[in-house]
Homo-oligomer: A and B are copies of this chain.
Amino acid sequence: MNTTDTQHQTRMQRKKEVVDARIAEAQEERGVLILLRGNGKGKSSSAFGTLARSLGHGQRGGVIQFVKGRRETGEYRFFRDHPQLDWHIMGHGFTWETQDRNKDIEAAQAAWATAEQMLQDENYHLLVFDEMSYMFKYGYLDTAPVVEALKKRPRHQSVIITGRTMAAELQDVADTISTVQDERHAFRQGVKAQPGIEY
């Protein structure tokens, strides 16, 4: 080995010690609450990717889409027939599309009723509440019963909640929070939303 290679090896040995020590410290085993927020592209897709990961280990998953009402999305087509997964499309479109506050509230409450049942069902390893955060932003759901149900859920159950803005009460009880920041988006450069990328 030449000097560069030896230096590299020494540096990496040191790095490995640091990494190993951190891994040794994290030994608690339980489900986690993950919040994916921010204005950037990649929040819902990240939740669906984690779902694939979970299903790959033979775990059972549940998805509730709080806003989307479309059934022709790639994600729904791809996942809908999976035997270990329950997928509920309970939104009926963005609130600026529906323009009807009362119907929005009705849809939100029906979605939450389903979500609440899932949070009591220990068969589910991973739940995805896609775009749920808009329900709090528009005042369609209260945070208190949601936080309560999240706290009481089965210990091994993980939950991912997505949406641009995230209620403070949810952040208080989250284990992992990632903010996805929009640095650049093809849409603003005139590229049309396309199947397989945006939906």
Contact = CB atoms under 8 A, between A and B. Distances in A.
B95 A74 contact: no
Interface residues of A, number: 84
A41 B78 contact: no
Q: In the complex this chain forms, how many copies of it are found?
A: 2
Interface stretch (A27-35, A106-114, A115-123, A142-150): A27-35
A183 B177 contact: yes
A23 B51 CA distance: 30
Contact of A196 (B16, B96, B125, B186): B125
Given A19-B96, A56-B74, A26 B101 contact: no
A132 interface: no
B56 A178 contact: no
A124 B194 CA distance: 15
A158 interface: yes
Contacts of A51: 49
A18 to B, nearest CB: 9
Interface of A: 4-5, 8-9, 12-13, 15-16, 19, 22-23, 25-30, 32, 34, 36, 38, 40-57, 59, 73-79, 94-102, 125-126, 158, 174-197, 199
Which 9 A-B pairs give the minimum distances between C-beta atoms? Answer: A56-B78, A45-B49, A56-B74, A48-B49, A53-B74, A49-B49, A54-B196, A40-B178, A56-B77
Given A49-B49, A55-B78, A179-B180, 9 more contacts: A16-B96, A26-B188, A29-B191, A32-B197, A53-B196, A53-B199, A175-B185, A176-B185, A176-B186
25 contacts: A8-B99, A9-B100, A12-B99, A13-B96, A19-B96, A26-B193, A28-B192, A38-B181, A45-B47, A45-B50, A46-B46, A49-B52, A50-B197, A52-B79, A53-B74, A53-B78, A53-B195, A56-B75, A57-B195, A57-B196, A59-B195, A158-B197, A176-B185, A176-B186, A177-B183
